[in-house]
Chain A
Amino acid sequence: MLKKITLKTVLITAVLAASATAGGHTEIEQRIGAMKAVVGEMRILGGMAQGKVDYDNLAALSALETMRNAVATAQPLFGTPPVDGEETRAMAAIWEDGSEFDAGITTLLAALDTAIAAEPADLASFGPLFGAVAGTCKACHENYRAPEE
């Protein structure tokens, strides 16, 4: 029995370790992967906020939690500036402005924590919580992300 549990733990740890690098090998590829995961959850949440999809409180909560994990994964991956030639839309201002960009991510995490803790039961309570999360995206993308090529 004990052996089984240990095996299970080892397996889960291995899967987690693998998924942590699933976005790619370099730090930039990993953080692009994490940010893409954020957008994926935003699509689920945004569809509900827009009324395109019926509100589902369990699905919303799960999307918020997944998004929180993805944001928390991305945050430390913005540690070093890209070297020339690396494909990224992250602008140099991220590293020139010191901790301002990092504070932006922390604001997003706080908005997500608030939304998760509230466990919004219906669309009316979800709307403003989603708005607070969504509002933080533009704030960073204005100064820190270059337009697409």
Chain B
Amino acid sequence: MRLRNKAFFAALLGGAAFWFLTQPDNLDTALVAGLIGDPAKGAQVFAIGGCASCHYAKDAKGEARLMLGGGQAFATPFGTFIAPNISSDPDLGIGGWTNYEFANAVLRGISPSGQHYYPAFPFGSYTRMTVSDVVDLKAYMDTLPAVAQVNIAHELPLPFRLRRGLGLWKMLFLDDRKVAETIEMRGQYLVEGPGHCAECHSPRNMLGGMDANRWLAGAPNPSGKGRIPNITPHSQGIADWSVDDLVYYFETGFTPEFDTAGSTMVAVIENLGVLPVEDRLAIARYLKSIPALPDASK
């Protein structure tokens, strides 16, 4: 009887600790108060953030790429994630959200109802964005069409279906500090924050956290075949590329060998092409200045 009491007490304590540790760590409301978004600036944030690339319908072309009804499926080692509707529809999308709710989602990965988002939504990078960029982004996204589309749920095995546990993931991996200290501040901001390059170009550990020690050193392709390339200035990465080569690649999709970007990088190139040339230059300079690392083994 006594043993059972003890076990019950331990379980209760464990449960309470879990509940406490996995609580959403909300953004301070004061950070957003009084900010008014600028949709023109937000259009640039939208491009570097690559929001559309995951949230438009599969195979959307041209204007249809601004219809952010979601529905694309992303296969990962943890299950298949379905992109949600982030169009301006007030009920099915995010049109009804306040600036604060939107910023809390993008910077902290927390939904308006207080649930954790899965890090397939790259808030692990977005958390390094400025609040003013996020508010500008919301102002721009409010100008995009409302899409009345309901998507199917994520297809995840049971342990990952429980969102509360993501609080622990965030405790371990969500970090808004800069990763590599370089003199190229603008490039660093774009790459590590809104550009979220590391989400694909850095390997992840068993729990799906990005490995900061193998930062941008390439990774297996989560959807199966091939590898995402090493983009550090190592001989296995971009050592042979000049800054001009990188900028040309961001504009045209052609490598110095005149091979072309393929797969999901094609959408990234389209987004980079919309940015001011100084931003492409800043990204190139940042990539040439980070530590050179050999290909990540896994």
Contacts and interface: CB of A to CB of B under 8 A. Distances in A.
A149 B262 CA distance: 13
Nearest to B61: A139
A138 B226 contact: no
Interface in B203-260: 221, 225-229, 248, 252-254, 257-260
Contact of B262 (A39, A46, A142): A142
A146 B263 contact: yes
Interface in A54-95: 89, 91
Given A146-B226, A147-B221, A147-B226, A42 B258 contact: yes
Nearest to A44: B258
Q: B225, B260, B261, B266 — which one has the most chain A CB atoms within 10 A of its CB?
A: B260
Contacts of B253: 137-138
B263 A46 contact: no
Nearest to B269: A138
Contact of A39 (B227, B248, B258, B264): B258
B267 A149 contact: no
A72 B253 CA distance: 23
A8 interface: no
B194 to A, nearest CB: 22
B261 A43 contact: no
Nearest to A50: B248
Interface residues of A, number: 19
Nearest to B261: A138
A46 B260 CA distance: 12
B226 A89 contact: yes
Classify the interface of chain A: helix, strand, loop or mixed. helix
B47 to A, nearest CB: 17
Give the interface size bracket for B toward A. 20 to 34
Given A147-B226, A149-B226, A134 B254 contact: yes
A143 B61 CA distance: 13
B266 A39 contact: no
A141 B226 contact: no
Given A142-B267, A147-B221, A46 B258 contact: yes
B221 A138 contact: no
Interface string B134-173: 0000000000000000000000000000000000000000
Interface string A118-149: 00000000000000001001110111011111
Nearest to B262: A141
Residue among A138, A145, A149 facing the most chain B CB atoms (10 A cut-off): A138
Interface in A33-51: 39, 42-43, 46, 50
A57 B147 CA distance: 50
B254 A147 contact: no
Given A39-B257, A43-B258, A46-B258, A141 B227 contact: no
Contact of A146 (B225, B260, B269): B225
Given A146-B226, A147-B228, A148-B227, A138 B258 contact: no
Contacts of B59: 143
24 contacts: A39-B257, A39-B259, A42-B258, A43-B258, A46-B254, A50-B248, A89-B226, A91-B225, A134-B254, A137-B253, A138-B253, A138-B260, A141-B260, A141-B263, A141-B266, A145-B262, A145-B263, A146-B221, A147-B221, A147-B225, A147-B227, A147-B228, A148-B229, A149-B226
Nearest 9 Cβ contacts at the A-B interface: A147-B226, A142-B266, A141-B262, A42-B258, A146-B225, A137-B260, A43-B258, A145-B262, A138-B253
Given A138-B260, A141-B261, A143-B59, 4 more contacts: A137-B253, A145-B262, A146-B225, A149-B226
Interface of B: 59, 221, 225-229, 248, 252-254, 257-264, 266-267, 269
